[in-house]
């Protein structure tokens, strides 16, 4: 019987109408010639499961492809009878229900619904089958020191969002063999095809996407009593474990390097698959956890799970890198849960019961998603409680909730967690019990924007703990500073094959370089064609800032596309609703800021369009990673202005092709202009100001303030404004843009 998580949730507001605006009366066209279908020029090859396009090595080959191949953008869909399809539906039933709450009132309902015994009691454990786990220690050995260097928090305002994940509707199980025929040709594509400009400097616009609505989990408890009476042995087979560990070691080519730090370079095989051949029961995982895993629809481990689990179960600190959408959440949750199982039971009457596992995620969506995944895995561990603290609601409400239902596993966003450390009585004491600290999207969390909060959090948990750092991207700077969280002898497990790209081979990437005034018409043309070609389209359009996102969503809505928007300026209840709708829907375009860039697990995204400069290489990779998850195929388009081309040099090692700029017929241009004229003036003004702020913070573009203002005014014209909107003097002062010609102040 599938268990529904959070079955009683209701939508408080009706879904947004896809056609919010009356249709426009367009004048007859001056020139009715239709542009060459843009998508077909950009993606001229048909996607096939077992026949990805040959990777081209030269411009000629590329042009040959563009001219000769049959054109289609229909995404690959596995046959209904495939293993993927079967398991997908099972997992979908479990996970398909709403996993977030809609408002504070609902949160209160949840609180009162919660079980009161969400932590171990001695009595319970004397009966539980998990009891054998208690005999074992956590296996932690070394204690590391960390530096507490304080650094300046990077620029961050509302516009520079951050992101993360949702529930999962299907489980793919492509084995490496499954896609053996479709990979290597594509990887032969040459970087020389890139027309890269100047070397761009890396900039990061981190912001803490916090103050959001909290979420409570609701676990299906049916059948728990029966299960508790079953014989359950802890599957602690050291031999199995060491075999698996050896497999993983040979798979990842473990090496010892300087300073006692182990460095693992992976070689998961030449195919871009995320599944391994190892089963979860080959690891020392408790039988009840294995039941939860099975119910979640997971049979074999993904590559990252296979590589990290044996090491983590031994209690080692790990920095792990694995491509987007390859199961990192389960990889860090499972060993964390095992630590809780093996810990001595907590007296339920204890005033300040310890938090044993602390998971930090950069955004509310991600934290909620991780907590939901934890709930799924804990299905047969009713005595283990999970809670999230993510803001978006009153601190007092979260305090009350935590008091009413203490938990052993806490998932949090950094800012809100820091609030609790500073303002919640007894919370700091509870954190002294932490045995496992997880930083999900570690590179982002160790970035300037979060550094202070993370340092504060690290100072609040015991030095003697296990620390897990996971991300799809681990830039060298992060390797340099990861010692602030990790022990010296931690292992770096990199499941991205040496010399291979950090993105998925089955996701075709293109970049388009066109003047700013063409960006809106081009975006419309690209979307229109994708929608026409893909009945089950599901598109993410990433914009640079929250206010730009709002404006672009308004525009696309005026153009009668089925759009939703999500960004940090929207209330959390709205974000939750839209995110959930997008997760479940097909035939929808989600216009988004970087709140959706990292980790959010939307199934079956067919296309990701990035409009304008991504904040850095990592953000480009994470945004692109919203498609092509779990071995599926996808497409990505990066739309840049000529003066943004320098960014391409930062991703020149990725298989991204230059696409010819589609022509936009006058009709379409007019249509877009007309739609722009219907977009609210205040939204355009806000977009202009946010745009200016974003590019001003970019080290390269923001260096020449005169040029920057010229470009901003070009952007203003592209929105159909004759004069650039006036900006408050105070704001201009803060941006360092006072007295720059071309700006209007108020």
Element counts in the chain: helices (H) and strands (E) = 27, 20
Report the residue number, 297 or 353, with the smaller CB distance to ligand ATP.
Answer: 297
State which of positions 581-600 bind ligand ATP (CB under 6 A).
Answer: 599
Closest CA to 140 of 351, 434, 410, 393: 434
DSSP state, residue 96:
-
Point out which residues pair with 540 in neighbouring strands.
Answer: 590, 608
And the tokens for 22? Answer: 């009356």
Shortest distance, position 55 Cβ to ligand ATP, whole Å:
24
Q: How far is the CB of 494 from ligand ATP (least distance, A)?
A: 14
Using CB under 6 A as the binding criterion, the count of chain residues that bind ligand ATP stands at 22
- Report, in Å, the least distance between residue 94 CB and ligand ATP: 10
d(CA 300, CA 18): 40
Cβ-based nearer residue to ligand ATP, 383 or 627: 627
Binding region for ligand ATP (CB under 6 A) out of 185-193, 449-457, 622-630, 697-705: 622-630
Site for ligand ATP in 149-188 (CB under 6 A): 165, 168, 171, 173
At 191, list the tokens. 């970087």
Distance CA 412, CA 666 (A): 50
Instruction: Note whether 324 binds ligand ATP by CB under 6 A.
Output: yes
Closest approach, Cβ 322 to ligand ATP, in A, equals: 6
3-state SS, residue 507: strand
Question: Minimal distance in Å, beta carbon 608 to ligand ATP?
Answer: 12
Query: 567 near 546, Cβ under 8 Å?
Result: yes
- Report the residue number, 360 or 556, with the smaller CB distance to ligand ATP: 360
Cβ(270)–Cβ(251) below 8 Å = no
A 10 A CB-CB count for 246 gives 12
Q: Which is nearer to ligand ATP, 493 or 526 (CB)?
A: 493
- Give 18's DSSP letter: S
Instruction: Look at the block and give the residue holding tokens 């060491």.
Output: 242
Q: Which residues contact 667 (CB under 8 A, 6 or more apart)?
A: 26, 29, 31, 32
Cβ atoms of 339 and 299 within 8 Å: the answer is no
Distances 726 to 684, 686, 712, 722, 746 between C-alpha atoms, Å: 11, 10, 12, 12, 6
Structural contact between residues 181 and 103, judged by C-beta atoms closer than 8 angstroms: no
Q: Using CA atoms, how far apart are residues 361 and 328, in angstroms rounded to an integer? A: 13
Residue 629 lies near ligand ATP (rule: CB under 6 A): yes
In the bound state with ligand ATP, the residue whose beta carbon lies nearer, of 354 and 625, is 625
Short-list 3, 72, 17, CA closest to 42: 72
Of 625 and 636, the one with the shorter C-beta distance to ligand ATP is 625
State the helix-helix crossing angle for 546-558 and 681-697, rounded to 10 degrees: 140
Give yes or no for residue 386 binding ligand ATP (CB under 6 A): no
Task: Answer whether 50's CB lies under 8 Å from 180's CB.
Answer: no
The least distance separating ligand ATP from the CB of residue 470, rounded to whole angstroms, comes to 7
Closest CA to 232 of 297, 296, 293, 285: 285
336 binding ligand ATP? (CB under 6 A): no
Q: Which position among 75, 325, 391, 702 is part of the footprint of ligand ATP (CB under 6 A)?
A: 325
Rounded Cα distance, 420 and 665, in Å:
56
CB of 682 to ligand ATP, least distance (A): 34
Q: Which residue has the tokens 């292992």?
A: 491
Contacts 24+ apart (CB under 8 A), 666-671: 666/29, 666/30, 666/31, 667/26, 667/29, 667/31, 667/32, 668/35, 668/521, 668/524, 668/525, 669/521, 670/26, 670/27, 670/29, 671/24, 671/26, 671/524, 671/559
According to CB under 6 A, which residues from 276 to 315 bind ligand ATP? 298, 301-302, 305
- Of 163, 178, 182, 326, which lies in the binding site for ligand ATP, with binding defined by CB under 6 A? 326
118 in helix, strand or coil?
coil
Closer by beta carbon to ligand ATP, 102 or else 306: 306
CA 504 from centroid of its chain's CA atoms: 15
Choose, by CB under 6 A, the member of 216, 241, 601, 644 that binds ligand ATP. 601
- 625 lines the binding site for ligand ATP (CB under 6 A): yes
- Separation between Cα atoms, residue 544 and residue 489, nearest integer Å: 39
CB of 371 to ligand ATP, least distance (A): 13
Distances (CA, A) of 380 to 374, 383, 397: 11, 9, 28
Which region among 194-202, 539-547, 623-631, 656-664 touches ligand ATP (by CB under 6 A)? 623-631
Nearer to ligand ATP, 325 or 636 (CB): 325
Under rule CB under 6 A, residue 634 binds ligand ATP = no
**Of the candidates 327, 631, 634, 693, which one interacts with ligand ATP according to CB under 6 A?**
327
Least separation in angstroms between CB 219 and ligand ATP: 17
* Measured distance between the N- and C-terminal CA atoms of the chain, rounded to whole angstroms: 63
Q: Which is nearer to ligand ATP, 452 or 584 (CB)?
A: 584
In angstroms, what is the minimal distance from the CB of 298 to ligand ATP? 4
Window contacting ligand ATP (CB under 6 A); options: 328-336, 632-640, 678-686, 714-722: 328-336
Q: Which residues contact residue 480 at a Cβ distance below 8 angstroms, ignoring those fewer than 6 apart?
A: none
Which residues, numbered 204-263, are part of the site for ligand ATP (CB under 6 A)? none
Q: Which is closer to ligand ATP, CB of 424 or CB of 506?
A: 506
Six token digits for residue 37: 């279908």
Nearer to ligand ATP, 171 or 711 (CB): 171
Return the range that interacts with ligand ATP (CB under 6 A); candidates 11-19, 321-329, 493-501, 657-665.
Answer: 321-329
The CB-of-290 to ligand ATP minimum distance in angstroms stands at 12
Q: Which is nearer to ligand ATP, 473 or 718 (CB)?
A: 473
Smallest separation, CB 616 to ligand ATP (Å): 16
CB of 626 to ligand ATP, least distance (A): 7
168 versus 416: smaller Cβ distance to ligand ATP: 168
Token pair for 571? 């209330």
Among positions 458-477, residues that touch ligand ATP (CB under 6 A) are 472
Cβ-based neighbour number of residue 79 at 10 Å: 9
The answer to the question of residue 617 lying near ligand ATP (CB under 6 A) is no
Sole binder of ligand ATP in the list 328, 490, 564, 617 (CB under 6 A): 328
CB 564 within 8 A of CB 590: yes
Token pair recorded at residue 379: 């299905």
Least distance to ligand ATP from the beta carbon of 622, Å? 7
Comparing CB distances to ligand ATP, the nearer of 173 and 576 is 173
Shortest separation between residue 632's beta carbon and ligand ATP, angstroms: 10
**Least CB distance to ligand ATP at residue 606 (A):** 16
The contact mask relative to ligand ATP for 651-690 (x = CB under 6 A, - = no) is: ----------------------------------------
Closer residue to ligand ATP (CB): 310 or 725: 310
For ligand ATP, which is the closer residue by CB, 138 or 576?
576
Between residues 99 and 305, which has the closer beta carbon with respect to ligand ATP?
305
Report how far residue 572's alpha carbon sits from residue 567's, in angstroms, rounded to the nearest whole number: 9
In the complex with ligand ATP, the residue whose CB is nearer, 328 or 381, is 328
Helix (H) / strand (E) containing 708: helix 705-718
Q: Footprint of ligand ATP on residues 694-723 (CB under 6 A)?
A: none
Chain residues that interact with ligand ATP, rule: CB under 6 A = 165, 168, 171, 173, 298, 301-302, 305, 322, 324-330, 472, 599, 601, 625, 629-630
């Amino acid at each position: 019987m599938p268990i529904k998580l959070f079955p009683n949730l209701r939508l408080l507001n009706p879904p947004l109408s896809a056609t919010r605006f009356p249709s426009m009366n367009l004048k007859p066209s001056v020139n009715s010639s239709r542009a060459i279908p843009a998508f077909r020029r950009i993606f001229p090859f048909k996607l096939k499961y077992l026949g990805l396009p040959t990777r081209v090595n030269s411009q000629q080959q590329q042009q040959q492809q563009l001219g000769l191949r049959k054109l289609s953008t229909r995404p690959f869909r596995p046959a209904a009878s495939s293993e993927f399809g079967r398991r997908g539906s099972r997992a979908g039933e479990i996970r398909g229900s709403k996993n977030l709450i809609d408002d504070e009132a609902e949160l209160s309902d949840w609180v009162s619904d919660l079980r009161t015994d969400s932590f171990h009691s001695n009595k319970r454990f004397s009966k539980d089958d998990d009891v054998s786990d208690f005999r074992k220690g956590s296996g932690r050995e070394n204690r590391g020191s960390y530096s507490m260097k304080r650094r300046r928090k990077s620029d961050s305002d509302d516009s520079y969002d951050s992101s993360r994940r949702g529930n999962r509707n299907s489980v793919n199980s492509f084995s490496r063999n499954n896609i053996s025929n479709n990979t290597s040709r594509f990887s032969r594509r040459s970087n020389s095809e890139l027309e890269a400009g100047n070397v761009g400097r890396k900039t990061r616009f981190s912001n803490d996407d916090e103050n959001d609505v909290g979420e409570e989990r609701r676990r299906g408890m049916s059948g728990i009593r029966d299960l508790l009476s079953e014989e359950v042995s802890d599957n602690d087979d050291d031999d199995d474990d060491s075999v698996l560990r050896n497999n993983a070691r040979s798979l990842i080519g473990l090496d010892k390097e300087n300073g006692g730090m182990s460095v693992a370079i992976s070689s998961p095989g030449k195919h871009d698959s995320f599944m391994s051949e190892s089963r979860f029961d080959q690891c020392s995982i408790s039988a009840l956890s294995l039941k939860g895993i099975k119910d979640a629809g997971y049979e074999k481990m993904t590559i990252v799970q296979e590589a990290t689990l044996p090491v983590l179960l031994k209690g080692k600190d790990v920095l792990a890198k694995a491509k987007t959408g390859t199961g990192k959440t389960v990889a860090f949750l499972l060993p964390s849960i095992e630590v809780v199982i093996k810990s001595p039971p907590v007296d339920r009457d204890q005033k300040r019961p310890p938090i044993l596992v602390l998971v930090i995620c950069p955004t509310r969506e991600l934290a909620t998603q991780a907590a939901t995944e934890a709930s799924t895995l804990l299905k047969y561990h009713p005595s283990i409680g999970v809670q999230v603290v993510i803001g978006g609601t009153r601190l007092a409400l979260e305090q009350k909730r935590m008091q009413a239902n203490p938990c052993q596993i806490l998932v949090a966003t950094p800012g809100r967690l820091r609030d609790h450390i500073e303002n919640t009585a007894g919370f700091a004491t509870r954190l002294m019990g932490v045995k496992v600290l997880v930083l999900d999207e570690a590179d982002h969390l160790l970035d300037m924007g979060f550094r202070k909060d993370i340092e504060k959090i690290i100072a609040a948990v015991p030095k003697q703990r296990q620390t897990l750092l996971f991300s799809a991207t681990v830039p060298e700077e992060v390797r340099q500073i990861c010692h602030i969280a990790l022990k010296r002898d931690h292992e770096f497990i990199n499941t991205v094959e040496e010399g291979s790209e950090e993105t998925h081979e089955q996701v075709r990437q293109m970049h388009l370089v066109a003047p700013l005034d063409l960006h809106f018409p081009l975006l419309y043309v690209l979307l229109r064609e994708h929608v026409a070609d893909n009945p089950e389209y599901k598109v993410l359009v990433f914009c640079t800032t929250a206010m730009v996102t709002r404006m672009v969503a308004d525009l696309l809505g005026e153009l009668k596309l089925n759009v939703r928007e999500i960004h940090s300026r929207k209330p959390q209840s709205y974000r939750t609703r839209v995110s959930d709708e997008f997760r479940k829907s097909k035939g929808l375009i989600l216009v988004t800021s970087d709140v959706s860039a990292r980790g959010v697990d939307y199934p079956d995204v067919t296309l990701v369009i990035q409009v304008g400069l991504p904040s850095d290489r990592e953000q480009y990779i994470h945004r692109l990673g919203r498609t092509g998850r779990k071995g599926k195929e996808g497409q990505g388009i990066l739309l840049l202005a000529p003066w943004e081309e320098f960014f391409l040099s930062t991703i020149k090692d990725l298989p991204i092709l230059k696409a010819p700029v589609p022509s936009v017929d006058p009709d379409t241009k007019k249509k877009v202009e007309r739609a722009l004229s219907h977009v609210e003036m205040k939204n355009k003004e806000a977009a202009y100001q946010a745009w200016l702020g974003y590019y001003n913070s970019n080290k390269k573009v923001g260096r020449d303030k005169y040029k920057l203002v010229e470009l901003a005014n070009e952007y203003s014209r592209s929105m159909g404004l004759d004069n650039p909107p006036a900006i408050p003097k105070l704001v201009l002062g803060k941006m360092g843009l006072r007295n720059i010609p071309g700006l209007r102040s108020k």
